Amino acid sequence: MDQKLYDSYVKILKNELVPALGCTEPIAIAYAAAKAGVESLTRSIAAQYGRQGLRCNCVVPGLVLNVQTEKMMEKMPQMAEAFAAMDRQALLEPGHGSGMDVAEAVGFLVSDASRWMTGESLVIDGGTISHNPTWADVAGI
């Protein structure tokens, strides 16, 4: 990643994205902790109530294109450029995911096809975290 793009990414992360998430650390530690908490809660609910027939799974989507992300990128073109650079480095599947990709995964989880699946986190991110698990890695920090 070239220095100008990196500086732009760090500026966006520190000044715009991180405060919007309610985090104070540039690598969004609070956001990551919250996501880990949801995954842990998912496993706990599955363990606590599984014998009563309740299944609990969660979906972990990557960045998907939708009305909100498109508006965000229109308002902050430097963020769109930073995300494009991250996509080139991190995505294993071509293009962005969509809300329909996430909906299909949720449909699977509520169907009988996943009847023997509980306490799991289903990652839908185009393969990003399978080889590049952190924002720091993507940004080259």
| Residue 6 falls in the annotated catalytic set | no
Q: Quickly tell me which residue has 């498109």 as its tokens.
A: 70
Give the separation between CA 122 and CA 120, rounded to whole angstroms: 6
Spatial separation of the C-alpha atoms in residues 20 and 120, rounded to whole Å: 28
CB–CB of 92/122 below 8 Å? no
**Annotated catalytic residue, options 6, 9, 31, 49:** 31
Q: Name the residues annotated as catalytic.
A: 31
